Amino acid sequence: MHALIESLELVASRVADPAPLVYARLFAEHPEVEALFVRDRSGIIRGQMLQVTIETLLDLAGDGAYASGLLQTERVNHQGLGVPADAFDSFYRVLMATFRDIAGVDWTPAMEAAWTRTIAAATAAALDQ
């Protein structure tokens, strides 16, 4: 988990709010989900979703006290909102790719491995019913 936290600290030191970058990439890859944020004019919902996602990934990489249940619930909730399963699953990859771009040459193999491992666990947990 150390490398995951280190990557988050690195991103925070370079970008005050990475949410606009994360969602720009998400909308570029999945333009169909952008319309679901039409009422989020200030970006507060996107920011909160990003915060919860990061907290959930940290929990999953740590003791996993709540991540699995939350991921299963949110997958169903997002499907009910019209979010395609592939868009839901790709959000973690979009997040990692955005953070890797922000970190640039300071992104380490340990960070890559930590994110890849945690994303795989998140995807598996969301599907585990």
Taking residue 104's Cβ as centre, other Cβ atoms within 10 Å add up to 9
pLDDT at residue 122 in the model: 87
d(CA 23, CA 46): 8
Amino acid making up residue 41: R
Q: pLDDT tens, 11-42?
A: 999 999 999 999 999 999 999 889 888 888 89
Asked if the model's pLDDT at residue 51 lies above 90, the reply is yes
Pick 81 or 91 by higher pLDDT.
Answer: 91
CA 4 remoteness from chain centre = 12
d(CA 14, CA 35): 29
Asked if the model's pLDDT at residue 129 lies above 70, the reply is no
Q: pLDDT tens, 52-84?
A: 999 999 998 888 778 888 888 888 888 888 887
Of 17, 16, 38, nearest to 27 by C-alpha is 38
What domains sit in the chain, N to C, each tagged with a CATH number? 2-127 (1.10.490.10)
pLDDT at residue 91 in the model: 92
First to last CA, the chain: 25
